[in-house]
Structure 1
Amino acid sequence: MASAAGTTGETAGALERSKLQRHFGRLDIFFFLVCTLVGIDGLGTLATVGGQGFTWTLICVALFAVPSAMLLAELGAALPDEGGPYVWVRAAFGHLAGAVNNFFYWVTNPVWMGGTLVGTALGGLITFYNGGEEYSRAASYVFAAVFIWAGVLFAVLSFRVGKWIATIGAIARFVLLGLFSVVVVLYGAEHGFHGPSLGEYAPTFSGLVALVPLILFSLVGFELPSAAGEEMEDAERDVPAGIAKSVVATALLYGLPVLGILLVLPTDQATGLTGFPDAVKQALTVFGGTVETSADGTVVATLSGAGLWAGYVMGALVAVVAFTSGLTWIMGSDRTLAVSCYDGAGPRALGTFSARFGTPVRVNVLSGVMSSVVFVAVTEITSGSIAKFFGVALGLAISTTLISYLGIFPAAWKLRRSRPELRRPYRAPALGLLTVVSTGWILFCTVQLLFPGLGDDWFGEDYRPDGWEHAERWTYLLTEFVPLVLFVAIAVAFWAVGRREARAAVAAPRHEEVEPVR
């Protein structure tokens, strides 16, 4: 027998789903996934420990991206409901688990948008437009406000518009990373390649701890289009096909640029904030400019002529890629939060879709507010240092993201047993093994994000983020741990409010009958 709260959720869900608009085809899903999965905010960090950044990327693609993609392809084809990731976890483990897991899934993206992505875009502009000098705090605030709220505006628009922004973002990735790969070859032909020795490509434990959480963060998101499952034209066929193609594209668009950074930029000069833009700038000197080595060994590239104009274009592309990364995640995760709220796992006021746009406008605005708060908070904590800001924001975004997959990945295995009657157009092979492997990676990385280097040298030089000192490890832990505790508390509160509102709606007397729409 269905619970009263569940019945109310189904009624509310039917009302909100009637506002959805189908605009999402197979090619749209592919471009959306490329835009979702391929970011540049972590490329510089992957090069900070030498050649093993490239090695660990290949390992994670084979042993994490492929297994997890198979799990998510089965879920997306079998349960193509709006709010996919929330629906899967709730169906497998119940409303409370679904509510908490989904809040982490959602909150990651305002944190990422207002943190790392703003920092990445600023890093590109600093490198190509401001001579490598950081902008003032006031200028950073103005830029962040435009960056965040332009994203909110596009998220409010329907998928009819939003999918084209994602397509532009995907094309920008192909252009930026493709051109960089070509320019690296030209630069190497002219100046020679100066990458790490062959032995430096060997994977190590320090590389595992320092890089794998970031790599996994870069390789999750195959499920995101399923957040708009009922806005797809044919989810059962298009989701598995789109995921399969995006795995290949993601491997190429990550592997080649990381290798390019290693071949162009000295390892000890690569940074998380500007490592990729610095490598691009140095390579672009083949079109005009100079590369000099200062007394302290720092390589400084100066662009001129055609190289300068090429730098302006590449800097703009860096900002576009960062912006569209956040936009696609906001578009998807905001839908999952809205679905959970009309399903009784959050405040009903947030579980509404616009009849005009078919989008969760209230949650979109909430994401903008949260992103703005994150930017202000982290900026003040780090005293306006963009480099330190980048490290804190990236660590928090990674931890909240990976935690949400502790519920999503096991859902496929659980539902295979509890819901055997479901039609599964795609069935993942060796489901139990895929679940253990995918979830195991997430568990290990979650611990290491909170305690970098635990088991070897907690917060040692090889493990701590850029800009931090060993004496600041407790401060770093608090910046990561306190928000996680706060997010759990908010998620449980959301769930409690949603259940109370659902019960109240059932208990309320009905004085009027609503005339059916004719």
Structure 2
Amino acid sequence: MNPTTARPAKALGLFTLSMISVSAIIALRNLPTLAKNGFSIVSILVLAALLFFIPVALCCAELASGWPKNGGVYAWVKEAFGEKAGALAVWLEWIESVVWLPTVLSFIASAIAYVVDPVLAQNRYYMLAVMLTVLWSGTLLNFLSTQTSGWVSTLGIIAGSLIPGMIIIALGSMWFATGQPVQLEFSTAALLPDFSSLSSLSYFTVIALGFAGIEVAAFYVQDTENPTRTFPRATFISAAIIITIYVLGALAIGIVIPKEDLNLASGMMQAMTEFFKFLHMPWAVPVFAIFSVIGGLALLNTWIIGPSKGLHASALHDDLPKITQYTNRNGSPIVILLMQALIGSCLISMNLFIPTMNQFYWIFQVQAAQLILLMYLMIFLSVIRLRYTQPGVQRIYRIPGGNYGVWIVAGTGALFCVAAFLLGFIAPPEYQFDEKTYTLTLLSGIILFSAPPFLWQWWRKYLAQN
């Protein structure tokens, strides 16, 4: 994702830089998926932060400080491996956001259902209609200026993520402190993931998706006060804040809703219904749902325009058909936005054919995570390669420890990407997938969604020769 706001004239301090990372990543829609892991989510998130979140943030900071060009991921990977590789990287960033759309849209549609009638959250035709309406409305909004969509995201993050997040953590704490029935096991054994079961480790794949957007803060390294000192500290602080919010929010849901009854799309509203029933405040459920809808819309708005602008930078280098270069008078890449909405509509329609909402939500989470993991793998490899091919380029921030340090940091992240990518092919038993169909679906999706840049390059070469 690329920031669309102007760079601040004043140097950014530790607190501001930390908050940029937090606001770019925190999403309440992730809480039900995290809650499925029970108490072990604490150790899973800490491991994911050490092996993935922090390495990505540090690598992106070095790349952004050495190659502060428009295009972000596209520019970095292009410097390391050439134009074709850069085009593939930014395409993966964009197509991942498209494949991810069904998850956030189903979250929004489920929250809207709790405003009207919670039963609607199980109605496929209601879910499809609302998801399509929200998707196309968000697309049309981004035909307007970046400033218009920008303030929508800013207000939405405050009203729809920070406030509801604090509420759900407070209610979970109250539920636990007053001795209500707890659906989780709190013990040393429950704290550790089941490393003997590969299916339980597949959650590392979707947790990587929950950290997507880490690279946003890297774009501000040029404006950071004493970046060599400030950026690593801000990364660790933001990691601690994100882990704390995710852990407390997930546990708040997990203590009140049994794992087997938890719905991935509407799990947060399931928990809030129980909390407010306990408080004799049923009227508060639709109010909370409205705030959740606002947060979901803000998140959707950010991800509709961000990756599209990155892909547009690639299109301007003829890495896509010329029609994708077209923008309207407000500078919005409307052809790319329309492509995104059309593909998203096709994916959303799969809701009518996939047996359960949990299966629908899970498979798109995993597919999106696998695509973004491939992009992050290219980032890790790029920062290593550029240390050797362009050692003389001045970097405001460098990963400490010389070349050994960059191999440790980027190597750790790269290994995590490969492991999490492969674990995604293992279906958790609670979702009752047919294993062969599940694996074949994901593998086919990776090939299908990754193919367009290669096909376009082949077509260009064919036209040049004929």
Query: Is the pair's TM-score, using the shorter chain for normalization, greater than 0.5?
Result: yes
Offset of 1:361 from its aligned partner? 2.1
The alpha carbon displacement at 1:496 in A equals 3.8
- Is the CA contact 1:413–1:431 (under 8 Å) kept in the aligned structure 2? yes
Distance (Å, rounded) in 1 between the aligned partners of 2:222 and 2:148: 19
CA distance in 2, matches of 1:412, 1:266: 43
C-alpha displacement of 1:139 = 2.2
Whether 1:117 aligns to 2:104 is yes
Select which of 429, 435, 460 maps to 2:410. 435
Q: Distance in 2 between matches of 1:131 and 1:391?
A: 21
Whether 1:203 and 2:193 are equivalent positions in the alignment is yes
How far residue 280 of structure 1 moved from its aligned partner, in angstroms, is 2.3
1:410 positional shift: 1.7
What does residue 382 of structure 1 align with?
354
- The 5-angstrom pairing of residues 88-103 of structure 1 reads 88-103=76-91
Residues 1:259 and 2:266 aligned together: no
Among 169, 172, 192, the residue aligned to 1:181: 169
Shift of 1:431: 1.4
Matched, 1:420 2:412: no
The alpha carbon displacement at 1:42 in A equals 2.8
Q: Which moved more, 1:91-100 or 1:30-39?
A: 30-39
Shift of residue 443 of structure 1?
Answer: 0.4
- Structure 2 Cα separation of the partners of residues 281 and 273 of structure 1: 14
Q: Distance in 2 between matches of 1:254 and 1:56?
A: 11
The CA deviation at 1:237 is 2.7
Q: What per-residue deviation string (whole Å, max 9, x for no partner) do you get for residues 355-402 of structure 1?
A: x323322212211111111111x223315x433321222222222222
> 78-87 or 248-257, which moves further after superposition?
248-257
1:446 to 2:427 alignment: no
Q: Looking at secondary structure, tell me which structure has more helix per residue.
A: 2
The aligned counterpart of 1:363 is: 336
Deviation at 1:154, TM superposition (A): 3.1
Q: Distance in 2 between matches of 1:495 and 1:151?
A: 31
State the identity %.
20
Is 2:315 aligned against 1:315?
Answer: no
The alpha-carbon deviation at position 59 of structure 1 amounts to 2.1
2-structure distance, mates of 1:196, 1:379: 33
Shift of 1:82: 1.5
2:64 to 59, 63, 76: 76
**AA at the equivalent of 1:422:** V
Which runs of structure 2 are paired with 1:216-365 in the superposition (5 Å)? Answer: 216-224=208-216, 235-237=222-224, 246-288=238-280, 307-354=281-328, 356-365=329-338
Distance in 2 (alpha carbons) for counterparts of 1:58 and 1:259: 15
Q: What's the CA shift for 1:22? A: 5.6
Give the TM-score taking structure 1 as reference length.
Answer: 0.78
Contact 2:93 2:372 in 1 (8 A): yes
In angstroms, what is the RMSD of aligned CA positions?
Answer: 2.9
Listed one character per residue, the Cα deviations across residues 137-189 of structure 1 (whole Å, up to 9, x for unaligned) are 33223211221112212333333223222212321211011111111222223
Counterpart for residue 381 of structure 2: 410
Give a deviation string over 1:40-74, Cα, whole Å, max 9, x none: 33321222232112321122123321222111122
* Runs of 5+ unmatched residues, structure 1: 1-19, 289-306, 453-458, 505-518
Aligned length: 444
Contact 2:315 2:322 in 1 (8 A): yes
Shift of the 34–364 alpha-carbon distance from structure 1 to 2, 3 Å rule, reads farther
Q: Are 1:480 and 2:439 matched, yes or no? A: no
1:495 to 434, 457, 461: 457
**Which protein is bigger by CA-based radius of gyration?**
1
Q: Secondary structure at 1:442's aligned position in 2?
A: helix
Q: CA offset at residue 130 of structure 1?
A: 2.1
